[in-house]
Amino acid sequence: MNEVTEISILAFWQSPQPAEPWSSVRNTTVEGSPCPQFNTLVNKYMGEEDCLFINVYTPKLNASPPLAVMVWVHGGDFVLGAGDRSIYGADFLVDQDIVVVTLNYRLGVLGFLSLQLEDAPGNSGLKDQVLALRWVQQNVAQFGGDPRKVTIFGQSAGAACVHFHLLSPMSRGLFRSAISESGSVLNPWAYQTPEESVELAFLLGAEFGARSKDPHDVLQVLKTAPAIELAYFVYTSYLQPRVAAIIGPTVDSKARSGEVFLPDTPINLISEGKFLKIPYITGINNEEAVMFTQLIRPISWLLRPVEKVLQLALSMYIGVKPSKAKLMAEEVKNKYFNNSRPLALQYMDVITDLLFIDGAYCTATKQEAAPHSAVYSYEFSFNGTANFGKKMADGTEYPGASHADDLGYLFKIGGWKVDLIPGTPEYLTSQRIVKLWTNFAKTGSPTPERDELLQNITWKPVTGKSFPYLNIDTNLTIRYNLNEGRPIWWEQLYKKYVPQHTPCWPFYFRVSLK
């Protein structure tokens, strides 16, 4: 069954407050509105400011013993999406006796703008998720769920949100295990510095007439702006390097007491061991950047002078001097472009590594070293008819698994022709990933016992001595040396040409907004 509940927003850029109780009968069989966004999938503005809804799916209200709970955090680059059944139908998971909870959270400017002020500290969208997790602790037993057995999981920006919850003092005690699919706080798109957040807010304020250098004045101007205009501005400016990849979480130490979600940078918190030591699955799809097909294909002729393109990109996004950028470009070209793969796909390999795989690898290697941590790594590489992300990106001619391709095997997707026919490799792949994820939610291990469906594999955590990872393809195999060691190669390249670089901490996209 499905249940929807509301969490009201106190004010723009403030922490959410629980909804007021009601005494009359309320229809909770329909989903609430998504949060305000300019949705590029349908090319229109959608959503309402009253948008903080929770959906609960359960196989049995009075389960005995109570069932494990999985709480889904949707992706969408922190600027779009919702937790509804148009993409995230929970049928496959519920069939495994799991209570599934999906949720909405504030997006874009409304969810992540920060002026580093008490009245606009940042991370409102993440705090919406915290309140939803508190609601789960207080209420999921009424739906047959066990509040002691909560697993949070998410994909893309939702996966990064999940990882942020491992670092946040506000999230302590709200879940016991976590899964991040194609997202990490160590990806370059997942975090903005406090300085960037303020500079972005001033840019936005100027768009709505703010001329003051006082952040309080800018905040007052932005509070009067309609939500539709705030949402639209972010996406119409999205392809500008000075604005791209910075709408998202930041340090919010200026928040009111008890409302600080992220007290320090992700790399500092992880390096100092200030994260939850719990069972954690983190992984990637092997060709994540195929999602950029519609951007890369029209300009493929401009990409032919590989070395010049790489030199420009490295100089712009890493900030190294042209002479060093030229030397780095030569090494990247020799590493990625001396093979017979299509040129566009070779560029996608570079993007996949920098935007996704390096962060997942660093997350696993850094967090496994902490006592009592169990970090499992995987790579999803299955290429089938239900590869949802590849269809959206019009990249079906490319091999492997694009960003979001795993979603079609984990969820029943409505509105898209994603069919899983019994007896097909697609159906089997879905059964396997659902079984792995629900095993993990129930026991803390994805392979607690031998299972013919899972080919009797034993998926072990990463250790300092080895990096085993599960490759999810037509068959399940345990492999080592994720992505052929390319994350290590990139760190060595940085060390050689950019000695001030902090290992595992992405500094690309850290360019001035001015």
288 classed as catalytic: yes
- Mapping DSSP to helix (H, G, I), strand (E, B) and coil, where does residue 7 land? strand
CB 198 within 8 A of CB 225: no
State both tokens at 281.
């699955």
Using CB atoms within 10 Å of the CB of residue 150, give its burial: 0 to 12 exposed, 13 to 18 middle, 19+ buried.
Answer: buried
Q: Which of these is catalytic: 197, 403, 426, 445?
A: 403
Q: To which H or E segment does residue 438 belong?
A: helix 425-443
> Is 403 a catalytic site residue?
yes
DSSP 21: P
C-alpha span between 154 and 427 (Å, rounded): 21
Catalytic residue among 288, 368, 379, 426: 288
Question: Under DSSP, is residue 405 helix (H, G, I), strand (E, B) or coil?
Answer: coil
Angle between helix axes 322-336 and 486-497 (nearest 10 degrees) is: 160
Distance CA 441, CA 457 (A): 18
Question: H-helix or E-strand containing 345?
Answer: helix 343-352
**Residue of 114, 124, 156, 430 with catalytic role:** 156
Q: What is the DSSP string of 50-119?
A: S-EEEEEE-S-TT-SSPEEEEEEE--STTTS--SSTTT-B-HHHHTTT-EEEEE----HHHHH---SBTT
Phi, psi of 469 (to 5 degrees): -140, 150
Q: Is 64 a catalytic residue?
A: no
Q: Which residues are catalytic?
A: 156, 288, 403
